[in-house]
Amino acid sequence: MDHLQALIDPSKQFAKDSIRLVKRCTKPDRKEYQKIAVATAVGFAIMGFIGFFVKLIHIPINNIINHCRQMEPVVIICLSGKRKCGKDFVGNLLANRLKGIGYKVITYGISYPLKEEYAELNGIDAERLKYDMQYKELYRQDMIAWGEKIRNDDSGYFCRFLRIESTLSIREMRGFVFIRGIDDQITECGLDDYTKWDVVITNDVQVMDGKLPINLDECITRFCFEIHQLLLNRK
């Protein structure tokens, strides 16, 4: 604020001097000069008022800039995979592991905004549509058709970072049944030919007695370490 005050103080002083000058300029032959002096005085008086107002509210612009610079770095992890491959399961594993080493984690489904809008348009429960598997299946096909129309207008709904793979037999053990109009649509197949994943997790082995399969545990641990290193390098 010091540099701003350095501009304000001379303006206020000039305004005072201009007002004194106007008081002296009362003769008829000085009317034009008087008008100029009045306009100048008013202009600088306004500048002085603005300067006083800024000083009064003292907007902490530098504080805002410093706060933005001090914000912690953010890493966004996007998970992709077929139905019943275990996206939620792996996502929760990652979230819990990262929370365990001190990071704040927010899990969010990329389809949540779409489901929320669909639920609002159709008067149904958005939260159940996100988390209740049986409830979601009641509306899945119609929701996919509605979502496809949106994606045809704006294809920027996909994010590509991490892929979760499972064999068909394992997915069937988890309840997967091929449904035409769902499993052959872009929501399930749009990334089948994409190969430039940063990490591919194979989630084929069932969890026994609450213990993760060694390969899955190692993959989760390695990926969490990479995230940790990435965050450290960004600080």
What digits encode the pLDDT tens for the residues 22-73? 555 555 555 555 555 555 555 555 555 455 444 544 445 455 445 545 556 7
CATH number at residue 205: 3.40.50.300
Q: Do residues 230 and 180 both lie within one domain?
A: yes
Query: Residue 15: its pLDDT value, please?
Result: 54
Q: Do residues 17 and 48 both lie within one domain?
A: yes
Q: Is residue 134 part of a domain?
A: no
CA 78 to chain CA mean position, Å: 13
Give dist(CA 63, CA 84) in Å, integer. Answer: 48
Least confident residue range of 10-19, 46-55, 173-182? 46-55
Q: Is residue 63 part of a domain?
A: yes
Query: Residue 45: its pLDDT value, please?
Result: 54
Q: Do residues 100 and 57 both lie within one domain?
A: no
Q: Do residues 49 and 98 both lie within one domain?
A: no
Residue range of the domain that includes 212 = 79-110+159-234
Q: With 0.85 as the threshold, say if the pTM is over it.
A: no
Query: Residue 157: its pLDDT value, please?
Result: 42
Q: Is the pLDDT of residue 86 over 50?
A: yes
Higher pLDDT, 197 or 4: 197
Mean pLDDT confidence for 190-217 = 77
Question: How many independent structural domains does the chain possess?
Answer: 2
Q: Do residues 34 and 99 both lie within one domain?
A: no
The answer to whether 144 and 181 are in contact (CB under 8 A) is yes
Query: Residue 87: its pLDDT value, please?
Result: 85
Q: How many residues does the chain have?
A: 235
Query: Residue 159: its pLDDT value, please?
Result: 41
Give dist(CA 25, CA 29) in Å, integer. Answer: 9
Q: Is residue 226 part of a domain?
A: yes
Indicate the pLDDT class of residue 20, thresholds 50, 70 and 90: low
Query: Residue 223: its pLDDT value, please?
Result: 77
Query: Residue 156: its pLDDT value, please?
Result: 45
Q: Is residue 66 part of a domain?
A: yes
Q: Is residue 154 part of a domain?
A: no
Give dist(CA 109, CA 132) in Å, integer. Answer: 13
Query: Residue 228: its pLDDT value, please?
Result: 79
Higher pLDDT, 192 or 11: 192
Q: Do residues 65 and 170 both lie within one domain?
A: no
Q: Do residues 91 and 200 both lie within one domain?
A: yes
- 3-class secondary structure, 142: helix
Mean pLDDT confidence for 63-88 = 70
